[in-house]
Amino acid sequence: METENPTIAIMRPEEYLPASKDLAESFGFSVIEAPMIKLEAIRDEIFDTVIDHILSGKSDYAIFTSANGIEHTLNKSGVDREKLIEALNKTNVVAIGPTTKKRLTDIGIEVMGMPGVYSSEGLVEYLCPHIKGKTVDIARSAYGSGLLISGLKKCEAMVYETQVYTLVRPEGEKQKNLMEKILEGKISVFAFTSSMMVRNFFELAKSMDKLGTVKEILNNSVVSAIGGPTAATLGEYGIKTDIQPGKYTFEEMLSTIKKEYF
């Protein structure tokens, strides 16, 4: 078992990598980084309806499930940013977890609440007693869990979901370098934070004709996943999840890995 400087693969979107690398190094990890997810803005047919609900006061609850969802919503609304922030502060804004909550408060949006479990299921459980007959507006990625929408509807809320960004697989030297380091046995910890990240990772391995070898390496390494869906996706590829932190944050993931393995 390693006692010093275990090397961790961080595959979060480019926007998150600098802070994620600094955080991992503060826990004593060496870092090899390569984004396996790229964010691209989209604007669907529900977007204007959601913005209208917020501006007109029809929105009883506005849910954000990521910091990226906040930025994409504010940046493409076509409305003065401060005016939209002011309107959001007149409704009940809900954040899925502490990272999203911090981003909201940093830009001046008051957060009414946050679930105890940072997931779609946690949001449903948290809001269900309060939302019967209420208008709930959601801005998130195109790959958000369907459990959030179906769960809120079962609680008899009127739910409007706009997908403000999508996720694609980036390709380049960073990604190839990561895979080469894996094949050389230089990575001992793998941090997966979403199902899409898992799928893109294995698609890259497959494209390099190294899928079987990479699976074998991961099953002899420490593999961590944020959330049940991410762990389940790893399972689809035959990979056992060693660490699944109780709180769905990257910091909690690093802390748990360090405590249990190093």
What is the domain partition of the chain in residue ranges? 7-37+171-261, 40-167
- pLDDT at position 4, please? 66
**Distance (Å, rounded) from C-alpha 224 to C-alpha 244?**
6
Ranges of the chain whose pLDDT falls below 70 = 1-4
3-state helix, strand, coil in the chain (%, to 5): 45, 20, 35
**Phi-psi domain of 227 (left: phi exceeds 0; alpha: psi -120 through 50; beta: other):** left
Q: What are the CA-CA distances from residue 8 to residues 27, 119, 181, 199, 254 (Å)?
A: 11, 24, 11, 19, 10
Q: For residues 245 and 256, is the Cβ–Cβ distance under 8 A?
A: yes
Tokens of 257: 């890995």
Q: Which residue has the tokens 């009414």?
A: 112
Query: What class does CATH assign to 7-37+171-261?
Result: alpha beta
Q: For residues 118 and 96, is the Cβ–Cβ distance under 8 A?
A: yes
Q: What is the CATH number of domain 40-167?
A: 3.40.50.10090
- Tell me the whole-structure pTM to 2 decimals: 0.77
**Distance (Å, rounded) from C-alpha 5 to C-alpha 262?**
9
- pLDDT at position 200, please? 95
**Distance (Å, rounded) from C-alpha 89 to C-alpha 21?**
33
Q: For residues 175 and 204, is the Cβ–Cβ distance under 8 A?
A: yes
Q: Are strands 38-41 and 158-168 parallel, antiparallel or unpaired?
A: antiparallel
**Among 111, 51, 49, which Cα is nearest to 84's?**
51
Same fold, 7-37+171-261 and 40-167: yes
